């Protein structure tokens, strides 16, 4: 994949949504290669994708940032065994005021 310009930051909003498994894996490889050249900000609902691609993960719940860190740190902080269960634990009980969520 080639970029027309050389941005310092590349925003990718749900880039793998609707892709089949092969296309998704190819795009993951491209994103990994781009990470060495630019800062990549990626949004996704696929936690395995976040864990595979992100150096740092921010968890949003009801429009608020409720947790941030590496996948390993989020799993450890939540006391869970995987990122999906960590997401549930870290967002459980967060309401619109964000009082019960853990802020970074």
Domain residue extents for the chain: 1-55, 56-93
User: 98 vs 49, which has greater pLDDT?
Assistant: 49
Q: How many helices (H) and strands (E) does the chain have?
A: 4, 4
**What is the pLDDT confidence band of residue 99, given thresholds at 50, 70 and 90?**
very low
pLDDT for 36 = 84
Asked if residue 45 lies in contact with residue 57, where contact means CB atoms within 8 angstroms, the answer is no
pTM: 0.79
Distances in Å between the Cα of 86 and the Cα atoms of 20, 33, 34, 71 are 26, 28, 28, 9
52-81, pLDDT tens digit by residue? 999 999 999 999 999 999 999 999 999 999
Class (C level, CATH) for 1-55: alpha beta
């Amino acid at each position: 994949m080639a970029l027309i310009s050389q941005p310092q930051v590349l925003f990718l909003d749900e880039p793998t949504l609707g892709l089949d498994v092969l296309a998704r894996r190819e795009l993951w490889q491209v994103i990994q290669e781009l990470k060495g050249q630019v800062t990549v900000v990626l949004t996704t609902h696929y936690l395995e994708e976040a864990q595979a691609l992100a150096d740092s993960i921010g968890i949003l719940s009801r429009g608020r940032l409720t947790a941030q860190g590496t996948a390993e740190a989020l799993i450890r902080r939540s006391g869970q065994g995987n990122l999906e269960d960590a997401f549930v634990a870290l967002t459980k009980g967060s309401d619109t005021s964000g009082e019960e969520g853990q802020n970074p």
